[in-house]
């Protein structure tokens, strides 16, 4: 009792009573070129709590976090840290006050060691005169931090060699090294597997028990129940509600986020499948071997597995981006031992890659160019582009897929994540692909757009297309797929039909 | 104020060009003749090889071997042209340009050498080959049938202008209106997305370097016809001048943006700036510095234009 009383919260009949407020946000407003993004945000973060913030993309979560961590300046409003008003004008100031942030995209230098990354910009020095960096001290201190995070890696390892989860832990170590009292985590589990997520949650709980407050942003509503103490829902730049986690249901949270009911997200009708369009025979390449999978018209087939199990590599090999080393691919019954992306697109295969910004759409080009990109050679057989045809085709598919933008000339980078993803899908729908490979199609996309993408996928298979879907989101995979293959260390470990598949069975086959 | 700044940023290249023209015209005896000279005689050469550079830059690379390609192909062709094999000579020249461009393209796509290193290295290799081939000699006194390409005029306008405009029109059409042109831009903007969309990006890049090579040998050929002399030193500074004109014109090194149209303005600014410095009798020591300053300032203005585009409602 005494021990925990010294920390922030008191354990009282199993319920944490949170005592004092560490960060108070009052009437924060922010607008970008006249468009209000945040309006009158009030929130208080208590000491030693995990405060989850949810909201659709564009609700203002990231903007708010960037204001708290000093990346953006607020237009109006006040911040109080431990009861004192503070002006946070830049990132350095935020760090000095005790607010650390782990961004969705990591800020690590790949070719430096873990220790060098943790102490980047504030390396301990041996003597004041020569400013020689004390590498031994860096090593020792980093080791302590890594031990605390229960990470058994040499701090002299290059970040380049680390997995995503380990990199995330290095970011956490970096924040801890600053003695942050408030730690902001922006979608920390987006790239983590189940096991790694559990690990991260343990660390979060450990930090919480020591009085560190965590502001946690997530799209994965299932996790929230496990980790949150309090919950704030943002919608269109306003706080829609504060909930304590005991009396919030997931349905209720979704309702608050989108402001409307979302019925069954996964609306699928199941028919008898058509002919086989894709089969791999003992397919092997860099990260996987002996893969035998098949795909029929009118069917969604899922690939489940941990990040790094080889799912994306299988997809990229079928699509011809990576070279086939062993075995072969049968497309519409014809055997191929060499593939290329040109051949794949000619065979009407389309790939919606996991990284839509780098691999999916050309961000710096208008929607129009992206939509017709794959169909260009077929649409304009004479090789001369007719602007009129291009416009009408692009408009047609923009409407068909429900891409929300003022015009087809808008640059893709200016769209929200969900709409960008729809542009990538539109490109392949426009090219009339028979076989579509979706790699993590809903990662980082808000609830509303997710449902729309599920709708598009269902409609495509209704029309007799075949879909191969890779996802780390098990409920989504089970909800959408006819069959699911599980992949572990580059091998297919099991196959489940829609009726057999449960989260437990799939997980057991993946780990 | 906002509108004035916005206007100035939007049209800074035209304003810069007019300012340079105004300064040079105020000191020359016959401003119109001066401008005419520049446009008729200076600009076309620079324009043709700068187009080659611009195309390479659009794919996200650059071509520093323009000058040596021009020298090698024209010197080799000169052996034929001097024997009055004019058409075969011209064809050989363009073919050699395309072949050397092909080599650049293969180095960049198949061997995956960085475009800067590939073309910079090739520049030395090809230049060395010309020195060996020519052995310090020059080839001159070509027949007038050949020289008329550069010296002749039609309706009072030099053939050079017609040739440059024809090339400009063809390139504008190919790169704005055709599937190939679109693929060049998309490859430059994001090669990975383009490849994953089924574009044969290797082929696109190789063809662009071949076009660049052909443009280099074309301008080399015009130089030879104009100067009536083929020598190994031809085009020593083509590469860097072309890069300067491309950058001043506003084609970004990031790739996927800009175009040959921009480069026309870039070339005019460059040519008239050099002319202006000459008529102002600015010492050659200062000319390079001023020239460099224009490159840096135009890059800054381009950045400012992008950064404040929203605010100034451009």
B179–A363 CB contact, under 8 Å = no
DSSP helix, strand, coil percent of chain B (3-state; round to 5):
80, 5, 20
Cα distance between residue B146 and residue B152, in whole Å: 10
Looking at A138-147, A444-453, A479-488, which range is the least confident one? A444-453
pLDDT beyond 60 at B313: no
* Average pLDDT, integer, range A84-96: 83
Cα distance between residue A128 and residue A134, in whole Å: 11
Chain length of chain A:
511
Looking at A57-66, B14-23, B245-254, which range is the least confident one? A57-66
Contact (Cβ atoms closer than 8 angstroms) between residue B24 and residue B279: yes
A385–B177 CB contact, under 8 Å = yes
Cα distance between residue A98 and residue B118, in whole Å: 49
pLDDT tens readout for residues B29-77: 777 777 777 777 788 889 999 999 999 999 999 999 999 999 999 999 9
What pLDDT score does A12 carry? 43
Residue B157 in tokens: 């306008």
Q: How confident is the model at residue A34 (pLDDT cuts 50, 70, 90)?
A: low
What's the distance, Cα to Cα, between the start and end of chain B in Å?
14
pLDDT tens readout for residues A179-235: 788 889 888 777 677 777 888 888 888 888 888 899 998 877 777 878 888 888 888
- B211 sits in which H/E element: helix B201-227
B31-281 topology per CATH: ABC transporter involved in vitamin B12 uptake, BtuC (1.10.3470)
A275-510 topology per CATH: Rossmann fold (3.40.50)
Provide the sign of the torsion angle of the four alpha carbons A439, A264, A456, A296, taken in this order.
positive
Domain boundaries, chain B: 31-281
Q: How confident is the model at residue A477 (pLDDT cuts 50, 70, 90)?
A: confident
A376–B195 CB contact, under 8 Å = no
Mention every residue, 6+ apart, whose C-beta is less than 8 A from residue A158.
A110, A111, A112, A113
Q: Which residue did the predictor score with more confidence, B233 or A15?
A: B233
Whole-Å CA distances, A338 to A154, A326, B160 = 41, 10, 49
Q: Looking at the partner chain, which of B180, B198, B311 has a beta carbon nearest the beta carbon of A342?
A: B198
B195–A384 CB contact, under 8 Å = no
**Burial of A31 per CB tally in 10 Å (0-12, 13-18, 19+):** middle
pLDDT beyond 50 at A4: no
Chain B interface, best mutation among A341, A354, A367, A371, by max B CB count within 10 A: A341
- With CA atoms as reference, the chain A residue closest to B311 would be A33
Mean pLDDT, chain A, whole residue set: 82
What pLDDT score does B65 carry? 92
Of A345, A320, A347, nearest to A332 by C-alpha is A347
A377–B179 CB contact, under 8 Å = yes
Provide, as residue numbers in chain A, all residues whose Cβ is less than 8 Å from the Cβ of B178: 383-385
What's the distance, Cα to Cα, between the start and end of chain A in Å?
39
Asked if B308 has any chain A CB less than 8 Å from its own CB, the reply is no
pLDDT tens readout for residues B98-139: 999 999 999 999 888 999 999 999 999 999 999 998 888 888
B195–A321 CB contact, under 8 Å = yes
Whole-Å CA distances, B281 to A182, A427, B29, B284, B293 = 65, 58, 14, 8, 18
In CATH, A21-260 is 3.40.50.920: no
List residues in chain A touching B: CB distance below 8 A: 33, 319, 321, 341-342, 344-346, 351, 353, 358-365, 369, 373-374, 376-377, 380, 383-385, 427
What pLDDT score does B124 carry? 93
Q: How many CB atoms lie within 10 A of CB A110?
A: 12
* Average pLDDT, integer, range A56-79: 83
Residue B302 in tokens: 């381009």
* Average pLDDT, integer, range A365-374: 91
Whole-Å CA distances, A19 to A48, A49, A426 = 9, 10, 52
Helix (H, G, I), strand (E, B), or coil: what is residue B144? Answer: helix
* Average pLDDT, integer, range A355-377: 89
Distance between B166 CA and the closest CA of chain A, angstroms: 19
* Average pLDDT, integer, range A477-489: 88
Cα distance between residue B278 and residue B259, in whole Å: 29
Contact (Cβ atoms closer than 8 angstroms) between residue A493 and residue A315: no
Asked if B186 has any chain A CB less than 8 Å from its own CB, the reply is yes
- The answer to whether the A21-260 and A275-510 domains have the same CATH topology is yes
What pLDDT score does A488 carry? 83
Cβ–Cβ pairs < 8 A, chains A and B: 66
- A285 sits in which H/E element: strand A276-285
Helix (H, G, I), strand (E, B), or coil: what is residue A336? Answer: strand
What pLDDT score does A15 carry? 44
What pLDDT score does A175 carry? 79
**Burial of A156 per CB tally in 10 Å (0-12, 13-18, 19+):** middle
- With CA atoms as reference, the chain A residue closest to B201 would be A342
Q: Which residue has the tokens 């590498």?
A: A135
What pLDDT score does B117 carry? 92
Cα distance between residue A424 and residue A354, in whole Å: 11
Strand partners, A496: A484
pLDDT tens readout for residues A221-272: 777 878 888 888 888 788 888 877 777 777 777 777 766 555 556 777 777 7
What pLDDT score does B230 carry? 85
B185–A365 CB contact, under 8 Å = yes
pLDDT beyond 70 at A129: yes
A383–B179 CB contact, under 8 Å = yes
Provide, as residue numbers in chain B, all residues whose Cβ is less than 8 Å from the Cβ of A377: 179
Helix (H, G, I), strand (E, B), or coil: what is residue B153? Answer: strand
Q: Where are the alpha helices (DSSP H) in B228-259?
A: 238-249
What pLDDT score does A130 carry? 74
Q: Which of A114-123, A259-268, B216-225 has the highest mean pLDDT?
A: B216-225
pLDDT tens readout for residues A387-440: 888 899 999 998 888 888 888 888 888 887 888 899 999 999 998 899 999 998
B197–A373 CB contact, under 8 Å = yes
ipTM confidence score: 0.82
**Burial of A177 per CB tally in 10 Å (0-12, 13-18, 19+):** middle
Q: Which residue did the predictor score with more confidence, A511 or A109?
A: A109
What pLDDT score does B120 carry? 92
Looking at beta carbons, which pairs linking A321-324 to residues 24 or more positions away fall under 8 Å?
A: A321/A351, A321/B195, A321/B196, A322/A285, A322/A286, A323/A285, A324/A283, A324/A284, A324/A285
- A281 sits in which H/E element: strand A276-285
What pLDDT score does A265 carry? 67
Chain A interface, best mutation among B197, B207, B310, B314, by max A CB count within 10 A: B197
What pLDDT score does B115 carry? 92
**Burial of A137 per CB tally in 10 Å (0-12, 13-18, 19+):** middle
pLDDT beyond 60 at A1: no
The A230-235 sheet, strands edge to edge: A99-102, A182-186, A213-217, A50-54, A230-235, A238-244
pLDDT beyond 50 at A36: yes
A319–B196 CB contact, under 8 Å = yes
Helix (H, G, I), strand (E, B), or coil: what is residue A376? Answer: helix
Asked if B195 has any chain A CB less than 8 Å from its own CB, the reply is yes
* Average pLDDT, integer, range B160-189: 92
What pLDDT score does B101 carry? 94
pLDDT beyond 70 at A11: no
* Average pLDDT, integer, range B200-217: 94
Q: How many CA atoms lie within 13 A of A71 on its CB side?
A: 11
A353–B197 CB contact, under 8 Å = no
Chain length of chain B:
314
Provide the sign of the torsion angle of the four alpha carbons B192, B198, B199, B203, taken in this order.
positive
Say how far residue A184 (Cα) sits from the centre of its chain.
Answer: 16
Asked if B153 has any chain A CB less than 8 Å from its own CB, the reply is no
Helix (H, G, I), strand (E, B), or coil: what is residue A381? Answer: coil
Domain boundaries, chain A: 21-260, 275-510
Of B95, B120, B94, B124, nearest to B107 by C-alpha is B120
Q: Please give the full DSSP string across A50-102, using - where no structure is assigned.
A: EEEEE--TTSSHHHHHHHHTTSS--SEEEEEETTEEE---SHHHHHHHTEEEE
Q: Please give the full DSSP string across A242-270, using - where no structure is assigned.
A: EEEGGG--HHHHHHHHHSS----S-----
What pLDDT score does A310 carry? 85
A33–B310 CB contact, under 8 Å = yes
Of B157, B158, B138, nearest to B149 by C-alpha is B158
Provide, as residue numbers in chain A, all residues whose Cβ is less than 8 Å from the Cβ of B257: 364
pLDDT tens readout for residues A299-340: 999 998 877 788 888 999 999 888 899 889 999 988 898 889
């Amino acid at each position: 009792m005494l021990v925990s009383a010294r920390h922030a919260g008191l354990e009282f009949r199993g319920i944490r009573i949170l005592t004092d407020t560490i960060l108070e946000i009052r009437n924060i407003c922010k607008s970008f070129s006249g468009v209000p993004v945040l309006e009158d945000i009030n929130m208080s973060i208590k000491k030693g709590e995990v405060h989850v913030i949810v909201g659709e993309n564009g609700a203002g979560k990231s903007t708010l976090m960037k204001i708290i961590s000093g990346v953006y300046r607020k237009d109006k409003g006040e911040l109080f840290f431990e009861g004192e008003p503070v002006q946070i004008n830049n990132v350095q100031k935020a760090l000095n006050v005790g607010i650390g942030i782990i961004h969705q995209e990591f800020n690590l230098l790949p070719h430096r060691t873990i220790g060098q990354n943790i102490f980047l910009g504030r390396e301990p020095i041996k003597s004041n005169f020569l400013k020689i960096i004390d590498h031994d001290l860096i090593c020792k201190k980093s080791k302590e931090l890594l031990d605390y995070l229960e990470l058994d890696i040499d701090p002299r390892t290059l970040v380049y060699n680390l997995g995503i989860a380990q990199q995330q832990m290095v970011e956490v170590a970096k924040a801890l090294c600053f003695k942050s009292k408030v730690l902001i985590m922006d979608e920390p589990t987006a790239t983590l597997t189940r096991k790694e997520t559990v690990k991260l949650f343990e660390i979060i709980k450990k930090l919480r028990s020591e009085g560190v407050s965590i502001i946690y942003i997530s799209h994965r509503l299932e996790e929230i129940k496990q980790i949150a103490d309090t919950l704030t829902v943002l919608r269109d730049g306003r706080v829609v509600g504060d909930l304590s986690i005991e009396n919030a249901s997931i349905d209720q949270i979704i309702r608050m986020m989108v402001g409307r009911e979302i019925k069954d997200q996964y609306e699928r009708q199941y028919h008898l499948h058509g002919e086989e369009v894709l089969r791999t025979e003992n397919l092997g390449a860099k990260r996987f071997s002996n893969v035998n999978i098949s795909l029929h018209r009118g069917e969604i087939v899922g690939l489940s597995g941990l990040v790094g199990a080889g799912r994306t590599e299988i997809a990229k090999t079928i699509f011809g981006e990576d070279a086939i080393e062993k075995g072969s691919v049968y497309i519409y019954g014809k055997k191929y031992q060499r593939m290329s992306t040109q051949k794949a697109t000619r065979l009407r295969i389309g790939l919606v890659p996991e990284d839509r910004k780098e691999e999916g759409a050309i961000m710096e080009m208008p929607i129009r160019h992206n939509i017709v990109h794959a169909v260009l050679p077929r649409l304009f057989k004479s090789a001369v582009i007719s602007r009129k045809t291009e416009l009408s085709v692009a408009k047609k598919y923009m409407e068909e897929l429900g891409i929300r933008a003022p015009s087809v000339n808008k640059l893709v980078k200016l769209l929200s994540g969900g709409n960008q993803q729809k542009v990538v899908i539109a490109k392949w729908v426009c090219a009339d692909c028979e076989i579509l490979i979706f790699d993590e199609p809903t990662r980082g996309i808000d609830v509303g757009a997710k449902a729309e993408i599920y709708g598009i996928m269902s409609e495509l298979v209704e029309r007799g297309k075949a879909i191969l879907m890779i996802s780390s989101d098990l409920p989504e995979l089970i909800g959408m797929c006819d069959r699911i293959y599980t992949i572990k260390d580059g091998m297919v470990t099991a196959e489940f039909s829609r009726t057999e598949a449960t989260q437990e069975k799939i997980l057991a086959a993946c780990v | 104020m906002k509108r004035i700044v916005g206007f100035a940023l939007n049209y800074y290249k035209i304003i810069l060009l007019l300012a340079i023209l105004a300064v040079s015209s105020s000191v020359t005896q016959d401003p119109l003749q001066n401008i005419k000279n520049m446009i008729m005689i200076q600009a076309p050469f620079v324009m043709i090889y700068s187009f080659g550079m611009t195309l390479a830059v659009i794919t996200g690379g650059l071509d520093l071997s323009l000058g040596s390609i021009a020298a090698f192909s024209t010197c080799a062709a000169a052996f034929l042209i001097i024997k009055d094999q004019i058409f075969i000579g011209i064809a050989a020249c363009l073919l050699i340009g395309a072949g050397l461009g092909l080599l650049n393209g293969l180095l960049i796509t198949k061997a995956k050498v960085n475009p800067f290193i590939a073309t910079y290295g090739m520049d030395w290799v090809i230049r060395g080959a010309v020195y060996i081939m020519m052995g310090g000699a020059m080839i001159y006194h070509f027949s007038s049938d050949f020289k008329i390409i550069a010296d002749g005029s039609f309706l009072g306008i030099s053939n050079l202008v017609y040739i440059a405009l024809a090339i400009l029109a063809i390139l504008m059409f190919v790169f704005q209106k055709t599937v190939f042109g679109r693929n060049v831009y998309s490859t430059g903007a994001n090669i990975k997305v383009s490849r994953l969309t089924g574009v044969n990006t290797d082929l696109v890049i190789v063809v662009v370097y071949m076009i660049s090579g052909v443009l280099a040998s074309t301008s080399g050929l015009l130089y030879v016809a104009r100067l009536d002399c083929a020598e190994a030193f031809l085009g020593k500074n083509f590469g860097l001048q072309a890069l300067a004109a491309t950058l001043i014109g506003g084609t970004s090194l990031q790739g996927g943006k800009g175009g040959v149209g921009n480069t026309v303005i870039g070339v005019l600014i460059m040519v008239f700036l050099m002319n202006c410095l000459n008529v102002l009798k600015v010492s050659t020591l200062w000319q390079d510095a001023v020239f460099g300053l224009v490159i840096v300032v135009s890059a800054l203005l381009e950045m400012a234009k992008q950064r404040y585009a929203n605010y100034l409602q451009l």
